[in-house]
Amino acid sequence: MRDITDRALDTAASQGATYADVRVVRRLEESISIKSGRVEGVSSGESEGFGVRVLVDGAWGFASSNWVTAAEADRVAAEATRIARASATALRHRVALDDRPPALGHYETPVDIDPFTVPFETKIAELLAADEAANSVKGIAYTETSYGAQREWKTFAASDGSFTEQVITHVGAGIESNAASGDEQQRRSFPDAGGGWQAAGYEYIRGLGLKDSAGPYAEEAVALLTAPLCPPGRRTIVLHPSQLYLQVHESCGHPTELDRVYGTEASYAGTSFLTTDHLEDGFRYGSDLVTIVADATAPGGMGTFAWDDEGVAAQAVPLVQNGIFSGYLSSRETAPRIGRQSGGAMRADGWNRIPLIRMTNINLLPVPGMSLEEIVADTDDGLYLASNRSWSIDDRRLNFQFATEVAYEIKGGQKGRLLRNPTYTGITYEFWRSCDAVGDERSYVMLGTPNCGKGEPSQIGHVGHAVPGARFTNVQVGVGNG
Amino acid sequence: MSTDIDPRRRLALAEKVLQAAEKAGATEAEVLVLADDSALTRFANSEIHQNVVETNATVNLRFVLGKRVGVATTGRTDDDGLDALVEQAGSIARVVEELEDWSGLPERGPIGVVDAAWSDATASATPESRAEGVRAVIAAADEAGSVAYGSFATGAETIAVANSKGISAVQRRTSSQLLTVSMAPNGGTGYAEAVSVDVQRIDPAAIGREAAEKARATQNPVAVDAGDWPVVLEEYAVVDILDMLGYLGFSALAVQEERSFYEPGRRIGSDLVTMVDDPTDPAGLPMAFDYEGVAKERVSLLDHGRCVDVVYDAQTAARAGRRSTGHGLPAPNPYGPFPLNMVMSPGTASRDELIGGLDRGLLVTRFHYTNPVHPKLCVITGMTRDGTFLVEDGRIVGPVRNLRYTQSYLDALAGVAAVGRDRRTLKGFLGGVVVPAVRIDGWSFTGTTEH
């Protein structure tokens, strides 16, 4: 691969680039989709190409191609420098990057069972067994069982001498049971909506216990059809990790992306309420119990790697410490503007996209004391909410509204009535300041999402979230159910 | 134009892989080649900060053995890559279960020529020409004292399909999109967008002025209470209604799985609401055939408020005992067919008449981060963004802070009281849409925010 990366870097330099990097990426994917016992789709995909990013006259240019040859490396590198010169015609501030030592080395996701060597027929049989367990529950309208795996071989080289190779493997699977009656439609997902995903091998899929959990979750979907509506009001809520991870994602992960803060996503995803003055003024993001870290070294997380896509070493960056806002997800370009070094959060969706500031693993750290079950037992009057059903948050990441698949009433420390169509809404910092209990290590699990969207042209990111359960007080619930 | 999107070469590639699949034992096979040259110049803080171009091609093979179907995709178009593709798709087909209701790949049918889908000017756009457009947007923002953010995208693609039932089709398309958010002091923000097959039909300075003028008008917004409000939705907001209806309901698979609101003849909108999926409308982003190589048909979705039909691909059509309407997506496709070219009929009202019909209501520029709360009832939550105004006695009083809504889009359609006579071509998440502005009797706002 050195021949391609050297060729691209040499050409970029000869065309006037003051900095250049090149990523050569080969991606292998496979997926299985089953609906109500019918194997709807089994597919495999391979993609390979390279992208060249350059700085010329302080402006960025990027070009990419799926044709990995030395001649194409010349063409693409030259095209990138031409684009950078066009960028420079509408430039007000020259780009400056922080210093970092050249990145060198090799990294691979630890994998016990290579998912790409497990025969399709084996994987299909295991998924069909789980699907059948759900589909056989009386009242289920249809089930959807899915599996996916992705492996990337990434070679990164930069004009400062960096050269790294990484092999990153992600796997996921899940089952959704759907029940319907008239206009009412209910779903229960295991292990969470969209499936459970980790940086791991097929051992993670086998460890999920899809078949054992499918039946009880399907029964809950059917029971939801006749459950009472979650009534509107202000309540104490306990969030299961299957919902809490997305709360962290939307209301802490995205607003701490420093590019959003500086407006570079303003026309699309929006900006952030966490402006840089809040780094200095001790902004209280949450209660003392809330500590959130962007940790690219966390085992199993889909945001785990050794170097980000501009060659910065993986690290753990505190975002919120004991409730006080303390840091950002950042890049070599943005970090110097707040007087810091890059936190190593630049990630690209394949060879044909530029790296953007993305979440790594945004983890709400556990607090010693109570497990999730003990938090429920400690709650006199509240709601227990699990598994995301829908999500929405405004362009500054303040006003959010989530729906979950299921709610249980909590009375006197016991889970009671099942309630359907629960929703809750709030303002980000008011919500996190109301957090009065965070689960301990016993309920701390690594989850994540394989479909985090950002950027133009659009990029889909795989990000991780390790969270325990947590409790919040005085939260508006039951929006639209009045 | 790169040779990678040359139609003859791409169709020849599809035919070559088809022959290889048949030689490898496929009883049926379908090859889809997607090749594109796309570029996007992005700007923020009134300067270009991201500027990218991509040359890409993928080959998608559906390999059928009786009723067993395997799908593989590759971006490697050299001989080794294509050999591996055939081997992989075939190996999957050999081990998967039979699809009892497999109806076979679609048959060859007549496909019309849609010349309006292509523009040489768009295909030959350069980094320099996009930068020139961006500078015009920035200049308009500078003139108004605001700051410009946005993107200017141009792209050309070739779609080739060959299958063992005789389909051998190729089409080429272009699209261009310029969008901008303008930010003024004191919380002012404005949005404008233009989409066209032909980049020459986009006027960057006009788009820049529209957004900047709205940003100026939205400074110092005041809070209003949540609750039910009559609204005028600008075209940028109406896009989301069509997108969600297409995604949640106007798909044959959603109907067959009983997830859809759709029932033939059911009234879901007022008499003023008519929608079609029209892949040949030159006002949109036309497309001659779908990703299965079936000619795209014009499908009436809603006629004066009543449900007429939904869109089909080959599989859903076979289940329903009818022919595909040409709305298939690349295999494997568990999501079903979607209307990718939705068009809403215009009404008779001018913009002033739409606003003039509000005694006390809100004018909404666009929505942000919308998501279904109750899919079958089309209950959606989202936020207003980039220009929300209080209207009293038919006149705009001033800007208001953004609001959250939780609203059934079906109920909203039933409450459409007026439809604008002018329409815009815009991009939704399903594709190009052509939409007017509308006035709606009631819209349920359920929360407020600080900006």
Instruction: Quote the minimal CA–CA distance from B302 to chain A in Å.
Output: 20
List strand residue ranges (DSSP E) for A182-210, in order.
Answer: 184-190, 196-198
* Residue B197 pLDDT exceeds 50: yes
Name, in order, each residue with C-beta under 8 angstroms of A148's C-beta and a sequence gap of 6 or more: A29, A30, A31, A32, A171, A172, A173, A195, A197, A450
Q: Which residues pair with B37 in a beta bridge?
A: B55, B156
Q: Which of B191, B199, B197, B179 is nearest to B129 (CA)?
A: B199
Domain boundary among A195, A225, A255: A225
Same domain? A469 vs A410: yes
Q: Could you report the per-residue pLDDT of B348-390, keeping only the tens digit for each?
A: 999 999 999 999 999 999 999 999 999 999 999 999 999 999 9
A246 within domain boundaries: yes
Phi, psi of A97 (to 5 degrees): -105, 150
Report CB contact under 8 Å: A41, B375.
Answer: no
CB of A75 less than 8 A from some CB of B: no
Do A331 and A342 meet the contact criterion of CB atoms below 8 Å apart?
yes
Domain boundary among A225, A251, A267: A225
Report CB contact under 8 Å: A92, B46.
Answer: yes
Once rounded to an integer, what is the mean pLDDT over residues B173-182? Answer: 98
Do A193 and A388 meet the contact criterion of CB atoms below 8 Å apart?
yes
C-alpha distances in angstroms, B202 versus B177, B194, B195?
Answer: 8, 6, 7
For residue A455, which amino acid is it?
G
| Residue where the block lists tokens 């020849």 | B12
Q: Which residues pair with B56 in a beta bridge?
A: B36
Q: Which of A62, A23, A47 is nearest to A165 (CA)?
A: A23
Longest dimension (CA), chain B: 73
Q: CA–CA separation, B170 vs A207, rounded Å?
A: 46
- Please report how the helices A70-87 and A2-14 are oriented relative to each other, as an axis angle in degrees rounded to 10: 40
* Residue A42 pLDDT exceeds 70: yes
Supply angle C-alpha B111, B115, B119, rounded to 5: 140
Q: Could you report the per-residue pLDDT of B119-162, keeping only the tens digit for each?
A: 999 999 999 999 999 999 999 999 999 999 999 999 999 999 99
Across the interface, of B38, B40, B451, the residue whose CB is closest to A396 is B451
Q: What is the DSSP letter of A253?
A: I
Q: What is the DSSP letter of A73?
A: H
* Residue B203 pLDDT exceeds 90: yes
Same domain? A190 vs A257: no
A304 within domain boundaries: yes
CATH of the domain at A15: 3.30.2290.10
Q: Could you report the per-residue pLDDT of A378-424, keeping only the tens digit for each?
A: 999 999 999 999 999 999 999 999 999 999 999 999 999 999 999 99
Q: Which domains, ranges and CATH numbers included, belong to chain B?
A: 3-204 (3.30.2290.10), 221-451 (no CATH)
- Using DSSP's 3-state secondary structure scheme, residue B306 falls into strand
Confidence label for B201 from pLDDT (cuts 50, 70 and 90): very high
C-alpha distances in angstroms, A63 versus A48, A96, B126?
Answer: 14, 20, 13
What average pLDDT does the structure give for chain B?
96
Name, in order, each residue with C-beta under 8 angstroms of A82's C-beta and a sequence gap of 6 or more: A15, A61, B127
**What residue of A is the nearest CA neighbor of B451?**
A396
| Ranges of H-type helices in B344-419 | 351-356, 409-414
Q: Give the per-residue pLDDT at B1.
A: 38
**What residue of B is the nearest CA neighbor of A68?**
B76
Same domain? A208 vs A295: no
Would you put residue B66 in left (φ > 0), alpha (ψ -120 to 50) or beta?
Answer: left
Same domain? A65 vs A18: yes
| Ranges of H-type helices in B56-115 | 79-95
Q: CA–CA separation, A91 vs A95, rounded Å?
A: 9
Across the interface, of A45, A90, A389, the residue whose CB is closest to B43 is A90
CB of B41 less than 8 A from some CB of A: yes
Q: Which of A99, A96, A94, A88 is nearest to A61 (CA)?
A: A88
Q: What is the DSSP letter of A432?
A: H
Across the interface, of B77, B180, B377, the residue whose CB is closest to A267 is B180
Instruction: Please tell me the total count of domains within chain A.
Output: 2
Q: CA–CA separation, B297 vs B283, rounded Å?
A: 16
Do A363 and A467 meet the contact criterion of CB atoms below 8 Å apart?
yes
Phi, psi of A79 (to 5 degrees): -65, -40
- Please report how the helices A70-87 and B127-144 are oriented relative to each other, as an axis angle in degrees rounded to 10: 20
Report CB contact under 8 Å: A86, B71.
Answer: no
Q: Which residues pair with A154 in a beta bridge?
A: A25, A166
Do B161 and B289 meet the contact criterion of CB atoms below 8 Å apart?
yes
Residues of chain B above pLDDT 70, percent: 99
Q: CA–CA separation, B129 vs B27, rounded Å?
A: 49
CB of A167 less than 8 A from some CB of B: no
Residues 344-373 of A with CB under 8 A from B: 352-354
Assess whether the previous peptide bond of A457 is cis (omega < 30° from 0): yes
A72 within domain boundaries: yes
A375 within domain boundaries: yes
Do A77 and A63 meet the contact criterion of CB atoms below 8 Å apart?
yes
Same domain? A187 vs A284: no
* Residue B2 pLDDT exceeds 70: no
DSSP string, B382-402: EEEEEEEEEEETTEEEEEB--
Residues 149-188 of B with CB under 8 A from A: 149-151, 153, 179-181, 183
Which residues span the domain enclosing A408?
A: 233-477
Residues 413-442 of B with CB under 8 A from A: none
Q: CA–CA separation, A415 vs A221, rounded Å?
A: 17
Q: CA–CA separation, A260 vs A250, rounded Å?
A: 13
A167-184: buried (b, 16+ CB within 10 Å) or exposed (e) per residue? ebbbbbbbbbbbbbeeeb
Q: CA–CA separation, A279 vs A264, rounded Å?
A: 19
Q: Could you report the per-residue pLDDT of A167-217, keeping only the tens digit for each?
A: 999 999 999 999 999 888 999 999 999 899 999 999 999 999 999 999 999
* Residue B333 pLDDT exceeds 60: yes
Same domain? A191 vs A239: no
Once rounded to an integer, what is the mean pLDDT over residues B230-245? Answer: 98
Do A412 and A269 meet the contact criterion of CB atoms below 8 Å apart?
no
Once rounded to an integer, what is the mean pLDDT over residues A422-436? Answer: 97
Q: Which of B57, B39, B6 is nearest to B125 (CA)?
A: B39
Q: Which of chain A's residues have a Cβ under 8 Å away from the Cβ of B67?
A: none
Q: What is the DSSP letter of B426?
A: E
| Ranges of H-type helices in B39-103 | 79-95
Phi, psi of A256 (to 5 degrees): -95, 10
C-alpha distances in angstroms, B170 versus A231, A338, B173, B198?
Answer: 55, 52, 10, 20
* Residue A475 pLDDT exceeds 50: yes
Same domain? A217 vs A244: no
Query: How many C-alpha atoms does A432 have within 13 Å on its Cβ side?
Result: 28
Same domain? A143 vs A208: yes
Q: Six-digit token pair at A75? A: 């063409």
Across the interface, of A86, A185, A265, the residue whose CB is closest to B127 is A86
Do B47 and B29 meet the contact criterion of CB atoms below 8 Å apart?
no
User: Which residue of A399, A421, A425 is the best one to mutate when testing the B interface, meaning the one whose CB has the most B CBs within 10 A?
Assistant: A399
Q: CA–CA separation, A133 vs A127, rounded Å?
A: 10
Phi, psi of B291 (to 5 degrees): -80, 5
CB of B1 less than 8 A from some CB of A: no
SS (H, E, C) B221-241: CECCCCEEEEEEECHHHHHHH
* Residue A24 pLDDT exceeds 70: yes
Supply angle C-alpha A64, B197, B330, rounded to 5: 60
Residues 42-71 of A with CB under 8 A from B: 42-49, 59-67
Q: Which of B162, B19, B20 is nearest to B83 (CA)?
A: B20
Phi, psi of B151 (to 5 degrees): -155, 155
Report CB contact under 8 Å: B179, A267.
Answer: yes
A482 within domain boundaries: no
CB of A393 less than 8 A from some CB of B: yes
Confidence label for A29 from pLDDT (cuts 50, 70 and 90): very high
Query: How many C-alpha atoms does A104 have within 13 Å on its Cβ side?
Result: 5
Domain boundary among A178, A199, A225: A225
Same domain? A237 vs A127: no
Q: What is the DSSP letter of A442?
A: G
Instruction: Quote the minimal CA–CA distance from A229 to chain B in Å.
Output: 13
Confidence label for B230 from pLDDT (cuts 50, 70 and 90): very high
Using only C-alpha atoms, what is the Rg of chain B? 23
Q: Give the per-residue pLDDT at A481.
A: 77
Report CB contact under 8 Å: A390, B373.
Answer: yes
Same domain? A220 vs A240: no
CB atoms within 10 A of CB A70: 12
ipTM rounded to 2 decimals: 0.95
Same domain? A90 vs A211: yes
Once rounded to an integer, what is the mean pLDDT over residues B30-41? Answer: 97
Name, in order, each residue with C-beta under 8 angstroms of B23's C-beta and a sequence gap of 6 or more: none
Q: CA–CA separation, B29 vs B22, rounded Å?
A: 7
Q: Which of chain B's residues have a Cβ under 8 Å away from the Cβ of A67?
A: 4, 55
Q: Six-digit token pair at A113? A: 């069972």
Q: Six-digit token pair at B123? A: 């295909």
List strand residue ranges (DSSP E) for B66-141, in order.
Answer: 68-74
Provide the sign of the torsion angle of the four alpha carbons A243, A248, A253, A254, taken in this order.
positive
Do A82 and A138 meet the contact criterion of CB atoms below 8 Å apart?
no
Residues 412-471 of A with CB under 8 A from B: 421, 423, 425, 427, 456-457
Once rounded to an integer, what is the mean pLDDT over residues B387-400? Answer: 98
A436 within domain boundaries: yes
Confidence label for A334 from pLDDT (cuts 50, 70 and 90): very high
| Residue where the block lists tokens 């979950």 | A404
Same domain? A31 vs A136: yes
